[in-house]
């Protein structure tokens, strides 16, 4: 075998190695959720593996414009929680709370599910975070459940605002904010601006 044949054989092997590398890289990046990142200090690229994901969704519905039903979902690499809050708009309070902890990293976490109905009767006014934390958080509760409940309450506030917007189409956005200022007094910069 001459040098020409050896060079040709080496070239074919190199091409096959390149194709195999590309297929493995493609598989890693697309099928295993890996992506290429660059180390800024070292200036080289490497494959990174996704270690954790979290998704929180909140849906707010109403059938009669007097009751809001807020459905919240919390899913991450270790947890799967569902909660539904029924809020009476006129009373501005939680009328019903139910939920389920489908997946947790520890069997003891499932005991916290029994705290969810205790959210019934909580008023959606100033101090709501503290009351939610006292009810489902702290050392006797669950930080993830607390986070989901608070997101659902934010959704209730947005849903209530959207109902106000739909029922009073003649009002501008600024007028709606002024109208809502009494309900959400000092809850953020905008409402502190309009609060009297």
> pLDDT by residue for the chain (196 residues), tens digit each?
555 654 555 555 555 454 444 444 545 555 455 555 555 555 666 667 788 999 999 999 998 889 999 999 999 999 999 999 999 999 999 999 999 999 999 998 899 999 999 999 999 988 899 999 999 999 999 999 999 999 999 999 889 888 888 888 887 877 777 776 666 666 677 667 765 5
User: 3-class DSSP state for residue 52?
Assistant: coil
The residue with tokens 């490497």 is 46
* Confidence (pLDDT) at 25: 52
Instruction: Give the pLDDT confidence score for residue 102 in this predicted structure.
Output: 95
pLDDT at 48: 74
Tell me how far apart the alpha carbons of residues 105 and 1 are, in angstroms, rounded to a whole number: 63
* Residue 29 CA from chain centroid, whole number: 25
Give the pLDDT of residue 168: 82
Extract long-range pairs of 4-8: CB within 8 Å, 24+ residues apart: none
Q: Give every CB contact of residue 44 below 8 A, 6+ residues apart in sequence.
A: 38
Distance CA 125, CA 38 (A): 47
Rounded to two decimals, what is the model's pTM? 0.72
Angle between helices 143-167 and 128-136 (to 10 degrees): 140
Q: Other CB atoms closer than 10 Å to residue 135's CB: what's the count? A: 21
How crowded is the C-beta side of 84, counted as CA atoms within 13 Å?
A: 9
Residue for token pair 């501008």:
172
pLDDT score recorded for residue 42? 59
| Helical packing angle, 173-181 and 143-167, nearest 10° | 120
């Amino acid at each position: 075998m001459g040098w020409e044949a050896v060079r040709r054989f080496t070239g074919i092997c190199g091409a096959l190695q390149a194709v195999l590398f590309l297929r493995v890289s493609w598989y890693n990046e697309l099928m295993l959720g890996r992506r290429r990142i660059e180390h800024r200090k070292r200036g080289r690229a490497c494959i990174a593996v996704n270690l954790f994901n979290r998704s929180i969704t909140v849906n707010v519905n109403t059938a009669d414009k007097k009751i809001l039903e807020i459905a919240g979902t919390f899913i991450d690499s270790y947890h799967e929680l569902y909660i539904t809050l029924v809020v009476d708009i006129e009373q501005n309070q939680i009328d019903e709370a139910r939920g389920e902890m489908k997946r947790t990293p520890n069997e003891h976490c499932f005991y916290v599910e029994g705290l969810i109905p205790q959210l019934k009767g909580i008023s959606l006014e100033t101090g709501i975070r503290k009351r939610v934390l006292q009810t489902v958080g702290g050392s006797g509760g669950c930080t993830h459940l607390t986070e989901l409940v608070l997101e659902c309450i934010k959704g209730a506030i947005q849903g209530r605002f959207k109902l106000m917007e739909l029922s009073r189409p003649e009002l501008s956005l600024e007028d709606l904010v002024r109208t809502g200022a009494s309900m959400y007094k000092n809850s953020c910069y905008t409402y502190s601006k309009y609060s009297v």
